[in-house]
Chains A and B, each alone.
Chain A
Amino acid sequence: MTSANPTPSLANFPKIAWFWLLRTPLTVLVIYCLISVYLEENFPFSNFPMYSNPGAERMYYTISAEDGIGLPVQTLTDVTSPKIGKIYRTKVAKYSKKIGVKSSKFSPEQTATVGREILGDLREKARHLGREDQLPGKLQLNRTWITFKNGRIVETTTVLANE
């Protein structure tokens, strides 16, 4: 790092390039970007994928009793509503790998298997917090699609799994 700046000339170009590469912060930037893109979500690295693929349909997940009315999931289990979607996607990817079926080809029963696992985990979290008695006897996992059709925002809810 203490070597002198090479004299600018065509013959010295490789030396100059190497000298510059070792000193510019852009080298660190490129290395950092490559590692982050490669490692994706591995704390502390992240490729920060929020809002990276804005499709025409968005979805969110709720838990409810059989009546379908959403429960305050964070209050009851300490798991926030956005995290349910992330947990669902992680579990679907794992289950898909386990059974060798693409997640897009899942049958309703396969989807329900993943959903029931999530409901079980949420019950366990509530039990850990001493709030299990505040949960209804039978839980239901719902997915609501949000779309924009004919000038209106439309929300369509389907039941993914129930206990």
Chain B
Amino acid sequence: MNVSPLEGFFLRLLFAGALIYTIRITGQFNLPNEPHPVGLLKILHRLADVSGITDHSQCRTWLTWLADPDKFEIFRWCFVGVLIFYVAGIALPVVLPLAALMHILPYTLYGSQEYNYHGASMISLVLLAQALTVIYDAIFRKCSCKPPDAKLRGWLLLHSMVIVTGAYFVSVIAKVENSKGEWFLNSHNVALDMIKADRQTYFNRNTGPAPDIAPEELKLVQQIGITDVIFRPKSYPVQVVATWLLEHPWTSRILFSSGVLLETLCILAIGNRILACIIGLSLIAFHRSIDALMGGVAFPYNELCDIIFLIGLPFGLAWTLERIKNVRIRHALLVGAGIGVIASYWFQDYQGAATSSLGNYLLSLSNNVFDIWNNPNWTGLLNYLRPAFVSAITGALIATATAFFWRGGSVKTATP
């Protein structure tokens, strides 16, 4: 794939932002032990058993320090430091494997608590695939600490696409395997999962009957068969839709199977920008419809991968900026916007911004940019981000104007 240096930069910048976003809360988990080690922890526990260092009865732990907020804060800043090198494209054969390991560790601890977790699997796997790609490139082609060349940039994007689409394809294999080939025939029962998800969401934080349910709604709820487990207005539409789907099994099968068809066909996106964009948008719609049907089963990290690697937001940004043929003006615009974002720290009047350090402020900005995608209070986030946007635009305009009117040095024009 042909990936320009600017697109490569935006790919790394946006992916780094997404990576920081995914570990924003992992230090707050209440994880005092590792009762069911998975992945790397499984290997570490087994090695410890074999070498006689410890046994499970002594409850030796390896990664629980990551659940200590103070230690995690240091770990997070180290991760940010590594990602700065990643965004700059410097020393990728060292930086990418380190970043992959650092991203995998906290979620390995999280997934070792007797419940499986795969919400961040795709994003970790993309990072791992990128790390393996640069290692392969360093061994078989050339080992360099300089920013990636055209071939490596193309490989990095291609293999990221393979992992993103492959993750969906693997879920199709799991469906065929676990249902013994009868997924399509049984797929109407997914409607029962809607009820299950609704109940589980309810029992997470609420309890007791809703006092404000209208008598006519209660009558309708009872008519369609709800038992006396939960009476609450929010359950009513879920109950109605699920009942209708179960009463119309063939319609349900076609509806639910369309998602599986998309998961199967998404591998066609590999290496084709137009198909990737179409499939990426379809996958976002697919995730959002599941979220709506299941009442809160969101996969925001998968959606971010879809946006970055399939829909091609970095490509769009790079393509737009590459319309500016004068490289000096283009660079000035980017640098000016960057300085503007940093300068917004002194213009931010949001409560709490004044007391946080510049580093924490920038991290908070980055996380809030990514949070807009999946936060119901996205308008509030926009208010928080407004000074940064205004400041970035102002910085970009000033820097562009300066570059335009500054005649010193030679003017370099990008080759088409």
Given A41-B116, A41-B118, A52-B175: A78 touches B205 (CB 8 Å cut-off): no
A58 touches B195 (CB 8 A): yes
- Total B residues in contact with A, Cβ cutoff 8 Å: 80
B42 touches A148 (CB 8 A): no
How many Å lie between the Cα of A23 and that of B30 in the bound state?
45
How many Å lie between the Cα of A53 and that of B32 in the bound state?
33
CB of B289, distance to nearest CB on chain A (Å): 13
Given A1-B141, A72-B206: A58 touches B121 (CB 8 Å cut-off): no
How many Å lie between the Cα of A62 and that of B167 in the bound state?
31
A28 touches B159 (CB 8 A): yes
**Mask: chain A, 49-65; 1 = CB below 8 Å from B; 0 = not:** 11111111111101000
B30 touches A42 (CB 8 A): no
A74 touches B170 (CB 8 A): no
How many Å lie between the Cα of A110 and that of B6 in the bound state?
61
How many Å lie between the Cα of A43 and that of B100 in the bound state?
12
A33 touches B42 (CB 8 A): no
How many Å lie between the Cα of A125 and that of B202 in the bound state?
20
How many Å lie between the Cα of A64 and that of B203 in the bound state?
10
- B262 interfacial by beta-carbon distance below 8 Å: no
Given A49-B178, A72-B205: A153 touches B159 (CB 8 Å cut-off): no
Q: Which of B98-148 contact A (CB under 8 A)?
A: 104, 107-108, 110-111, 113-118, 120-121, 124-125, 128-129, 140-141
- A102 interfacial by beta-carbon distance below 8 Å: no
- B39 interfacial by beta-carbon distance below 8 Å: yes
- A138 interfacial by beta-carbon distance below 8 Å: no
- A13 interfacial by beta-carbon distance below 8 Å: no
How many Å lie between the Cα of A151 and that of B224 in the bound state?
8
B115 touches A87 (CB 8 A): yes
- Total A residues in contact with B, Cβ cutoff 8 Å: 61
- B243 interfacial by beta-carbon distance below 8 Å: yes
A47 touches B205 (CB 8 A): no
- B402 interfacial by beta-carbon distance below 8 Å: no
- B2 interfacial by beta-carbon distance below 8 Å: no
Tell which of B184-192, B326-334, B385-393 binds the partner: B184-192
- A158 interfacial by beta-carbon distance below 8 Å: no
Q: Which of B170-225 contact A (CB under 8 A)?
A: 170-171, 173-175, 177-179, 183, 186-193, 195-197, 199-208, 224-225
B121 touches A46 (CB 8 A): yes
Q: Which of A122-163 contact B (CB under 8 A)?
A: 125, 128-129, 144, 146-148, 151-155, 157
Nearest B residue (CB) for A36: B170
Nearest A residue (CB) for B197: A82
A86 touches B116 (CB 8 A): yes
How many Å lie between the Cα of A25 and that of B158 in the bound state?
7
Of B113, B170, B204, B208, the residue contacting A81 (CB under 8 A) is B204
A69 touches B203 (CB 8 A): no
Residues from chain A with Cβ under 8 Å of B271 in the complex:
25
Q: Is the interface of A mostly helix, strand, loop or mixed?
A: mixed
B196 touches A47 (CB 8 A): no
CB of B98, distance to nearest CB on chain A (Å): 15
Residues from chain B with Cβ under 8 Å of A2 in the complex:
141
Given A1-B140, A43-B121, A44-B125: A37 touches B174 (CB 8 Å cut-off): yes
How many Å lie between the Cα of A75 and that of B166 in the bound state?
36
- A18 interfacial by beta-carbon distance below 8 Å: no
- B55 interfacial by beta-carbon distance below 8 Å: no
Residues from chain B with Cβ under 8 Å of A51 in the complex:
175, 190, 193
How many Å lie between the Cα of A44 and that of B115 in the bound state?
14
B227 touches A47 (CB 8 A): no
A73 touches B204 (CB 8 A): yes
CB of A137, distance to nearest CB on chain B (Å): 17
B30 touches A129 (CB 8 A): yes
How many Å lie between the Cα of A29 and that of B160 in the bound state?
11
CB of B124, distance to nearest CB on chain A (Å): 4
B30 touches A128 (CB 8 A): yes
Residues from chain A with Cβ under 8 Å of B168 in the complex:
48
Given A81-B204, A151-B225, A153-B246: A58 touches B39 (CB 8 Å cut-off): no
How many Å lie between the Cα of A121 and that of B245 in the bound state?
38
Residues from chain A with Cβ under 8 Å of B192 in the complex:
54, 56-58, 146-148, 153
A-B contact pairs, 17 of them (CB 8 A): A25-B271, A43-B124, A44-B125, A45-B125, A48-B118, A50-B171, A52-B171, A56-B189, A58-B193, A72-B207, A74-B205, A90-B114, A128-B30, A146-B192, A152-B243, A153-B192, A153-B239
Seen from chain A, the residues whose Cβ lies within 8 Å of a Cβ on chain B are 1-2, 25-26, 28-29, 32-33, 36-37, 41-60, 62, 69-75, 78, 80-83, 86-87, 90-91, 94, 125, 128-129, 144, 146-148, 151-155, 157
Which 9 pairs show the lowest CB-CB distances between chains A and B? A152-B225, A44-B124, A86-B115, A48-B171, A46-B118, A81-B200, A74-B204, A54-B189, A52-B178
